Structure 1
Amino acid sequence: MSDACTSEPARAIKAIDKHSVHQICSGQVVLTLATAVKELVENSVDAGATNIDVRLKECGADLVEVSDNGKGVEEANFEGLTLKHHTSKLRDFSDLIHVETFGFRGEALSSLCALSNLSVVTCHESSHVGTKLVFDHKGHLVQQSPNPRQQGTTVSLQQLFYTCPFDTRSFSAILRRSMPK
């Protein structure tokens, strides 16, 4: 055994704070730009969209935006939309047998909140005007305002992965190199 191992005092084992756990786990749900886009497109399909537009700015390093013409989000669901483990698909474990959608765990939007600046503009089929929703990194709704929009939803991720502890310039360069010419 080396002196370095024996001279350091034992460190106490204790729980990681919940915010750090959420950030760590979010990086395991959404690993890549492709995963982020896949999750958003699956949400659009689950919402009944027949038209889905994906827009990237700076190869996704600055902005990822997915817009659809699905049902939109009802106002009663605004608060829980991006909270961890909040979903309209399950109430308990036994409901898994009846899942017929892509998304059902309530992980994707919550994780994307932790990894980027996430906002949503949505207009539910029963609404006359759309609503812009802005969420913090914990998935809490921090701003809500009227916003013109046809029926459907647009999810915008600004600076995806900027909360991760690595050099974002390197990430941007990797994204650019990985894009087809």
Structure 2
Amino acid sequence: MDATLRNQEINAVFAAPWAYPGLPTRLATSCCLGFEERHHLVWSSWTIFNGGQQVYARRIEWPRMMGTDSQTGEFSRTFASESMIDRALADALIAEAMAAASLEPPTDADACAIDGAEKSLRFWHEGAPKSLNWQSSPGGSALDAWFARAAEFLDKRLPESSAQAYYNIRLDEMPSKAGSDPRQP
């Protein structure tokens, strides 16, 4: 599989977190909040789903430098996990995200996207997404601070990160230079 085809497959996985193979299928309309970071070593996304009486958090990761699978010869794959979380805490995360992004709650007609790069935030209301993409700022912004808190909050409620276990490093300790590989001494 060439790199372009692999990237198309990976982008499709991240674009539809509700349909991740091996995890319970969720309705696209049950998405409440999604946020993503495309780090040069690991792409990670977190999604909060409204499951009626329950709320679920799902994390999808792609360790980009993993290489090929020694058993199948296929390029690196994604990993995902899901856990039930408290509704009040999920509602607070969503409200904090909207405040940090200076967004009004999405309406049925909202469907916009703003070009950006390494981080993204998406809200859904009855299936209509509202998106914001941005570069991290050197001094940090309210949105960057919220992103770090929210990722840490959800990671504490999900099984250990497979990508972090692979690299044997926490994501916040990963080098920021493209092309660096923490597996190399």
TM-score range (shorter-chain normalised) is under 0.3
Bigger strand share: 2
Q: State the TM-score, normalized to the length of structure 2.
A: 0.23
Question: Highest CA radius of gyration, 1 or 2?
Answer: 1
Q: State the TM-score, normalized to the length of structure 1.
A: 0.23
Larger RCO: Structure 1 or Structure 2 (Cα < 8 Å, ≥ 6 residues apart)? 1
